Structure 1
């Protein structure tokens, strides 16, 4: 059966890195006769420039019709001064919300060839394999009321961090089920000693543990979790947390792997339709220079095949190809170390395609 993938390159380095992932997609599509068709749509600043909207209706309709979305990056200083609800980031938030993409999966896996590129000692991070499950459509990023108003003659900014029990239970179930197919260890991160919203979070996750007796469940305050990630990261397997904490912790975990340019992500709905994107941003300072690392986007494609298209076999082939390229000593600037060969975006993509056989 034919599957439709929507390609949304976005802004900054987005078009460059997505182009390399599409090379890989075309190669595996032909090699494994996957029957995948692709379409493309504007999102973010590039969409605003054309349509005056970071998520025009034509792009949203294409996203709804697709089986999965391969996404690049959005934003940049060019759009920092436009009205807030028209900024590129609002387009991505609306896309996630409109498609019900509530479960964000962010793996932090250290390829053995990059142990020396991590900011931590190799013995601390060697063999690292963490999966952060972040709730994506609730919490403080979406809560109401929000805004900036004048009180007593000065401006006051305010946001609302809110979760209902069903939202917590929904993301909790995803995390428990993923823990079941990994090492059966689940850490829930909260700030229940200060924030009532995360007190409820902790209560709900605790109540779910009885449904998964094989999973070892623990809880940790977010400040301690942040410290433990750099002290002894290999103690963790699956981590589940809310939108704000997940955003911060997953970027921290990225540096354990050597570069945020190595981290893919998946954002899934209840039926595993997903949006797949690298964890890094649009990096406008290097856009157009052909030096961005495309591996996080290529690994995001691997996640797309694994979760939305249910082709774990093809995902494995892509991941092995990436490892083979790294074993061969090829590095983009962000992961380069002495003794390796520095390559650009396109050369790295071509090398992965070649390694596919």
Structure 2
């Protein structure tokens, strides 16, 4: 039986996860047989267990086929030490399960083309993917510290580190992903000022020449790439970049689609040679949005679409994944909007948006 660990987290995380559970229940009623387990993460885990993710939760994650993650964080945790902050729980999950490939699609549904801050003709029909390396780079490099250097001065140190194998595996994942799409990869780095950027380009080029030359490869400096994402985003197919640049560029891509509440993501590890199983965690790109938590107005689409990515990448349920995406598109085409994408139109609640998606899912299947 397929199994999922639900990690709702903080803020609006429990609300959008509850909406997604309704979608899972829909598929279970049709025989999918998903077995669900639940655990705490982020601030909720700090409050109840003393750490942002416990060893017990990691053990449950080892036993399931995939994990669904809501959101973590809140202003009440801002004073905690770095290793106790809610976000440290997510970083530990990524590192523990070696979830090195973060797939972040940016799709502009036709009904939301006017919700973007860019002109309709720039974003309408947008369908790109940002592939972010997720377990290396400056977020994990050591030393990472703030030290007192005397005379009332402090020095903060973050270390950007990449090894050849880390770049090679994300590059090959990009070529594989592009091969199933439009066959184009744009690698973005800062080789003009960063040694990691020099190595990044060198390794990506080598991986391209090693059996991947059927995919078109371009290179672009990450700052120029940010400008091009805003100027002409449809020129891209798959963008591959390091941890830091992937974080920044995927948030830019989110704005192209109209709202952070619209973007799902998948964080994948390598395929286990013995079991054939790939470690995976699926999460919306949006944060915990503490200002609207508990009000029942959060947009559940990114969380529901993240489950849709799980259907595709972890469970091979391609027909069901396409039906879920079609249901989301149909709901938006009906003019239904949560507050973040309403832009003057009447806003509906989280539950009402979920009701509509389930209704269209019933029609799609």
TM-score range, shorter chain: over 0.9
- Report what 1:179 is aligned to: 178
Say whether the 8 Å CA contact 1:329–1:341 is kept in structure 2. no
- Report what 2:275 is aligned to: none
CA distance in 2, matches of 1:111, 1:132: 17
CA distance in 2, matches of 1:27, 1:106: 25
Report the Cα offset of residue 82 of structure 1. 1.5
Tell me whether 340-349 or 14-23 shows the greater mean CA deviation.
340-349
TM, length-normalised to structure 1: 0.98
Secondary structure of 1:82's aligned partner? coil
CA distance in 1, matches of 2:222, 2:292: 33
Aligned pairs, number: 354
- Report what 2:156 is aligned to: 157
Report the Cα offset of residue 57 of structure 1. 1.4
From 74, 77, 89, give the equivalent of 1:76: 74
- Report what 1:310 is aligned to: 316
- Listed one character per residue, the Cα deviations across residues 173-217 of structure 1 (whole Å, up to 9, x for unaligned) are 110100111111100000001000111000000111122121110
- Report what 2:218 is aligned to: 218
CA distance in 2, matches of 1:235, 1:260: 21
- Report what 1:251 is aligned to: 251
Name stretches of at least 5 consecutive residues in structure 2 with no aligned partner.
272-277
Q: CA RMSD in A?
A: 0.9
CA distance in 2, matches of 1:251, 1:26: 31
Q: How does 1:45-64 map to 2 (within 5 A)?
A: 45-64=43-62
- Listed one character per residue, the Cα deviations across residues 81-100 of structure 1 (whole Å, up to 9, x for unaligned) are 11221110111100110011
- Report what 2:298 is aligned to: 292
CA distance in 1, matches of 2:279, 2:335: 35
Tell me whether 163-172 or 147-156 shows the greater mean CA deviation.
147-156
From 320, 325, 329, give the equivalent of 1:323: 329
From 334, 340, 343, give the equivalent of 1:337: 343
CA distance in 2, matches of 1:182, 1:341: 36
- Listed one character per residue, the Cα deviations across residues 49-86 of structure 1 (whole Å, up to 9, x for unaligned) are 00111101121111111100111000011111112211
Q: How does 1:87-236 map to 2 (within 5 A)?
A: 87-153=85-151, 154-210=153-209, 211-236=211-236
Report the Cα offset of residue 341 of structure 1. 3.9
Secondary structure of 1:273's aligned partner? strand
Name stretches of at least 5 consecutive residues in structure 1 with no aligned partner.
none
- Report what 2:274 is aligned to: none
Runs of 4+ in 1 over 6 A off after TM superposition: none
Q: Does 1:17 align with 2:23?
A: no
Secondary structure of 2:135's aligned partner? coil
Say whether the 8 Å CA contact 1:251–1:260 is kept in structure 2. yes
Report the Cα offset of residue 354 of structure 1. 1.5
Report the Cα offset of residue 29 of structure 1. 2.2
TM, length-normalised to structure 2: 0.96
- Listed one character per residue, the Cα deviations across residues 322-346 of structure 1 (whole Å, up to 9, x for unaligned) are 11111111100111134x4420111
CA distance in 2, matches of 1:202, 1:213: 15
CA distance in 1, matches of 2:279, 2:108: 26
Tell me whether 346-355 or 165-174 shows the greater mean CA deviation.
346-355
- Report what 2:287 is aligned to: 281
From 338, 347, 351, give the equivalent of 2:352: 347
- Listed one character per residue, the Cα deviations across residues 116-159 of structure 1 (whole Å, up to 9, x for unaligned) are 00010000011100100000000000001110001243110001
